[in-house]
A and B are shown apart, each in its own frame.
Chain A
């Protein structure tokens, strides 16, 4: 009896231990440390004491919570735009393109991601900057009198974020749309449906788990993105991650930075929770 039980649990322990260690040592422990750090600050004599001053600072200083709200709204917006762009692409790859081509098309989508995000963002900068490729041709063909700066504004930043995260929406959408029986779409069409009724009644309800899982990944990646807003966003396009970076690196105020970090974690968790409630999905189903 005893040997039988250990015989079963030993391999299980062997596999689960590295995972638990990794989770505990690299995720849980540092987070506990950061959480404790966020509730401490220097008093007037330079001693570290427990206080809520880091959180009070956040609400007291408009630049902080305005950046915070801006980041949240833009992250949601980027997620929605990414979905709107990805759905037709995923639909084309799974339902319209011949099976022979669909693999190749997915590969084309994947290819830019073999290059690091930094290089890709610099690629956009070469294209869009004032002396860049796009401006060069626009002026050459007489569409513009003189080059304009296309970088460093919110529109370009949103575009860059959508571009960066699109793959993470397209892949789950391809997998859910693949499992959608073509005859369901045909049946709806046969019963008098058109694209405007088939999309909301058949395709989106079926694709919901994929939409939500893609949405969560894109939202988290966008909210936590640092590179793209920093490089192609303007001075007014401040991202909350930049605030965190400033606190840790520029001001060397780790306690304030830790508090900001926890606020961001709280924000992403609550928005995802609201998203799950709105779409009627559960995390366990989406994670499949």
Chain B
């Protein structure tokens, strides 16, 4: 596999503030790579460094093996899709798409053919003569993608382009974008603060926090094996506790919480006895009214505080008897739990392998 983009120890400081700290990663050809992080984590700065609008303070950016240092955006083989798309309102759809080709001084007939081809490919055949304000949100999206893809860039950079769309359209565009990327085979680097966009579309996701990459992994691994507390909190929902390590038995750590409960959990780190830890359990890992198995299992009795109905994403909010942190428990909508009411006491539990703990 050839490497389309490799970022080597890129750092960007603005005065005293470091926006991007020593970030390194590579993206293979044809991959969909996402950078996921909260707003202000430096992901836009990183993307603009790759596009060439900002020069890194330290480190190198290589595109298909060529160092991009000092090369302006108009001479880099990457294209950027802006957050608000930045389609040119003074031009028609066809003129928008032809803009980059004209800059390359391509022949008029070739430009016309390429514009028609790319419009066909993004599912907008015959839209060339329309003006930008005649298009719907999803159509604008596709024109913006077509305008970049027609130039056949080595890497297509996308700066949260779905952010401005409404929920239903966003869900639809997510699937479409993924399909389109698989079809054209261009390398995509996508930045977003929406974990669902990153998880659904990407081959690999980097989770970024205050200028650093916390973890680069497949979406599934990020979800099931977070490497840092930040990733555990940020990707998907999680219930968090803190406690101290009591003992180690059969590969599981026994953890005592401040209120005197004992849980067993896994860790990818080597933990000292007596170390302070935080541990995480996903809402959907918690089983309501579990049967008595002989697997390593954590059990407790909780009081239901409220029922948050949200279709397939419904939740129970419950506190363990004896009160402490609130627990979020997934509530499957299979009619089995319809009898649950606020104030009920239920037994819940989770497999010890579903609980992950980290030092600190």
Q: Which A residues form the contact surface with B (CB < 8 A)?
A: 181, 183-184, 186-194, 197, 201-202, 205-206
Task: Give the docked Cα–Cα distance between A190 and B74 (Å).
Answer: 5
On chain B, the residues within 8 Å of A201 by CB distance are: 88, 90-91, 99
In contact, B104 and A192 (Cβ under 8 angstroms): yes
Contact of B53 among A186, A202, A206 (CB under 8 A): A186
In contact, A189 and B82 (Cβ under 8 angstroms): no
Interface size of B by CB at 8 A reads 26
Contact of B82 among A186, A194, A206 (CB under 8 A): A186
In contact, A191 and B84 (Cβ under 8 angstroms): no
In contact, B84 and A193 (Cβ under 8 angstroms): no
Proximity bits, B161-188, A CB within 8 Å = 1, else 0: 0000000000000000000000000000
Task: Give the docked Cα–Cα distance between A286 and B51 (Å).
Answer: 37
In contact, B86 and A184 (Cβ under 8 angstroms): yes
Given contacts A189-B73, A191-B147, A192-B74, contact A181 B84 (CB under 8 A): yes
Q: Can you list 29 A-B pairs, Cβ within 8 angstroms, ordered by A?
A: A181-B84, A184-B86, A184-B88, A186-B73, A187-B80, A187-B82, A187-B88, A188-B99, A189-B74, A190-B51, A190-B52, A190-B73, A190-B79, A190-B80, A191-B99, A191-B100, A191-B148, A191-B151, A192-B74, A192-B100, A192-B104, A193-B100, A194-B74, A197-B102, A201-B88, A201-B91, A201-B99, A202-B88, A205-B90
Given contacts A191-B74, A191-B100, contact A183 B88 (CB under 8 A): no
Task: Give the docked Cα–Cα distance between A119 and B301 (Å).
Answer: 89
On chain B, the residues within 8 Å of A186 by CB distance are: 53, 73, 80, 82, 86
Task: Give the docked Cα–Cα distance between A191 and B77 (Å).
Answer: 9
In contact, A192 and B151 (Cβ under 8 angstroms): yes
On chain A, the residues within 8 Å of B83 by CB distance are: 183
Shortest B339–chain A CB gap in Å is 54
Tell me the nearest residue of chain A to B147, going by C-beta.
A191
Q: Which B residues form the contact surface with A (CB < 8 A)?
A: 51-53, 72-75, 79-80, 82-84, 86-91, 99-100, 102-104, 147-148, 151
Task: Give the docked Cα–Cα distance between A183 and B44 (Å).
Answer: 13
On chain B, the residues within 8 Å of A202 by CB distance are: 88, 90
On chain B, the residues within 8 Å of A190 by CB distance are: 51-53, 73-74, 79-80
Tell me the nearest residue of chain B to A192, going by C-beta.
B103
Q: Which of B72, B82, B148 counts the most A-chain CB atoms under 10 A from its CB?
A: B82
On chain B, the residues within 8 Å of A191 by CB distance are: 74, 79, 99-100, 103, 147-148, 151
Shortest A186–chain B CB gap in Å is 6
On chain A, the residues within 8 Å of B72 by CB distance are: 189
Task: Give the docked Cα–Cα distance between A72 and B294 (Å).
Answer: 99
On chain A, the residues within 8 Å of B53 by CB distance are: 186, 190
Task: Give the docked Cα–Cα distance between A187 and B90 (Å).
Answer: 14
